[in-house]
Chains A and B, each alone.
Chain A
Amino acid sequence: MDTKIATDRLRLSFGETEVLKTISIKVHKNTITGFMGPSGSGKSTLISVINRMIDFENNVRIEGDATIDGTSILDGSINPIELRRRVGTVFAVPIPLPRSIFENVAYGPRLKGTSDRTTLHHIVEDSLKKAFLWDEVKDRLGTSALKLSGGQQQRLCLARTLALKPEIILLDEPCSGLDPISTAKIEDALSELKSEYTIILVSNNTKQIARISDFSAFFYLGELIEYDTTEKVFTAPSETKTEDYIQGKFG
């Protein structure tokens, strides 16, 4: 399988605190890879390296490398803004912009310079359908996105990310605040999407990772403890830590 994202002995610290300890991982193309681990394990930080949102933090020191399609993304020559158009991110708390549903989804394409009404409509409809939200909002695209329910807002954020036509989608605990029905809808959408995208799903919910991911990585205190196919990790983990975590003995 092709490698889409890779890190090579990636180390990261905030001031004196080392948050990622020599992480080397290869994420395969067109799969869903689950990142799990208790809070403070470094999984979200790893995500923020891949989309370079880490740039917004102060006092960060990074060693090692991270690549997408074999090209370093930590290189000074990489434009983080270009990068974020290739790497879409859905955050834990849905952050709709204070605009209409339509404008939220059209925001990314507009930033890239798409202004043609028909093209935008097409992108918006397509993205909302892929995020399993179209049927619920198609009659009220002009209303404020802030009026949607939490689950709808999160799917809107997914649609907004899809509208950028990214290669990679990062989801940072996208279902942490959602009810089971909304969660199921997001999971259905993700399973459909993996044929076109490479997806990384960060979650505390091991059952969710087991349900929809192809590969699973277990992080603990900044270290990558185990990384294999989801089937292997969940049925025959090679590390006792992983087994304990999956069985809910700590977390």
Chain B
Amino acid sequence: MIDRTVLKEHLVKWVLVAFALSSLLFLFLIFIFILAEGLPLFLKVGLNKIIFGMKWAPTKGHFGIFPMIISSFLVTIGALIIGAPLGLSCAIYLSEYAGKRTRMLLKPAIELLAGIPSVVFGFLGVIYIVPLVRNYLGGSGFSLISTCLVLGVMILPTIISISFDALVSVPRTYREGSAAMGATKWQTIYKVIIPSAKSGILASFILGMGRAIGETMAVIMIAGNALKIPTGILDPLRTLTGNIALELAYATGDHRLGLFSTGVVLMVIIMILNYIANFGIKRKIAK
């Protein structure tokens, strides 16, 4: 006769395994689904004509998404230029300078920032940033710079919380060893703590990039969605995510498949970014 408690233990274990594997299954299904829908067009039109094609007119047989790839990269890099220095400075302040009370006040506030829906960010962008850019810098205001500003703020929580974790995990002994050699606080931060936390900080930037490149709602509200490569910071642009969200509702036939192809490209880019970030985090643990 089998012991009932042992049986129960096994049952619990296998149920949990099944749930754990289900997330893997979902990922796998998404992957298959997008590839199944997106790949046929690559075969029909040709990889080159899609990835490097300049013209997107899906109803007339043009599926070039090169301007969108460039635009997605531009907004991501722009968001990083704004978010990385801000986020890292904030993380350094929190981990090295802030007192317990300030930290207890700021950390939840930053976590709350992460919870604000992106449509709200987009809304604020349209109401405040876009007119500001239009009035002071010119153009329509729906532009690369407006998008980067809003995305820069949106990726702050990611950058701050991951950089912060990396900074506080630098052993206290490093700080003391450095101080005992007559280093000032800033010298210790700059020469010992930041280099020790480097891989974690880099991972935070890359995950921030992942968030920026995947952001859709705020971007379509602010970017202007024009179908060409922006030539200046005041030009409107359309990102890969924006393209899918804007057109999927009415797309049919090859047009619809074209949007899935856009999704395939986006997915590959995000997988590469995630891989780089994981690599960075693993190196940190190995050390």
**A and B bound?**
yes
Residues of A within 8 A of B (CB): 51, 53, 56, 81-85, 88-89, 91, 93, 95-99, 107-108, 110-112, 157, 160-161, 164
Contact between chains at A84 and B177 (CB < 8 Å):
no
Max count, chain B CB within 10 A of own CB: residue among A93, A108, A111: A111
Max count, chain A CB within 10 A of own CB: residue among B177, B182, B192: B182
Q: List 10 A-B contacts (CB under 8 A).
A: A56-B179, A82-B182, A83-B182, A84-B181, A88-B180, A91-B173, A91-B176, A95-B176, A97-B192, A111-B184
Contact between chains at A107 and B287 (CB < 8 Å):
no
Interface Cβ pair total, 8 Å cutoff = 59
Query: Is B161 an interface residue when CB atoms closer than 8 A count as contact?
Result: no
Q: How far is the CB of B280 from chain A (nearest CB, A)?
A: 16
Chain B interface residue bracket vs A: 10 to 19
The 10 closest A-B pairs by CB, nearest first: A85-B182, A95-B177, A84-B182, A89-B180, A108-B181, A95-B173, A111-B183, A98-B196, A81-B184, A81-B182
Max count, chain A CB within 10 A of own CB: residue among B174, B180, B184: B180
Contact between chains at A97 and B182 (CB < 8 Å):
no
Contact between chains at B180 and A91 (CB < 8 Å):
yes
Which of B176-233 touch A at CB < 8 Å? 176-184, 187, 191-192, 195-196
CB neighbours (8 Å) of B174 from chain A are: 95, 97-98
Contact between chains at A93 and B180 (CB < 8 Å):
no
Q: How far is the CB of B216 from chain A (nearest CB, A)?
A: 40
A164 vs B179: C-alpha distance when bound (angstroms) = 12
Contact between chains at B287 and A98 (CB < 8 Å):
yes
Q: How far is the CB of B188 from chain A (nearest CB, A)?
A: 9
Contact between chains at A108 and B182 (CB < 8 Å):
yes
CB neighbours (8 Å) of B187 from chain A are: 111
Contact between chains at B195 and A164 (CB < 8 Å):
no
CB neighbours (8 Å) of B182 from chain A are: 81-85, 108, 111-112, 164
Partner of B176, one of A53, A88, A107: A53
A185 vs B87: C-alpha distance when bound (angstroms) = 47
Partner of B181, one of A82, A88, A98: A88
A157 vs B183: C-alpha distance when bound (angstroms) = 15
Contact between chains at A107 and B191 (CB < 8 Å):
yes
CB neighbours (8 Å) of A99 from chain B are: 195
Q: How far is the CB of A203 from chain B (nearest CB, A)?
A: 18
Which of B141-185 touch A at CB < 8 Å? 173-174, 176-184
Contact between chains at B173 and A93 (CB < 8 Å):
yes
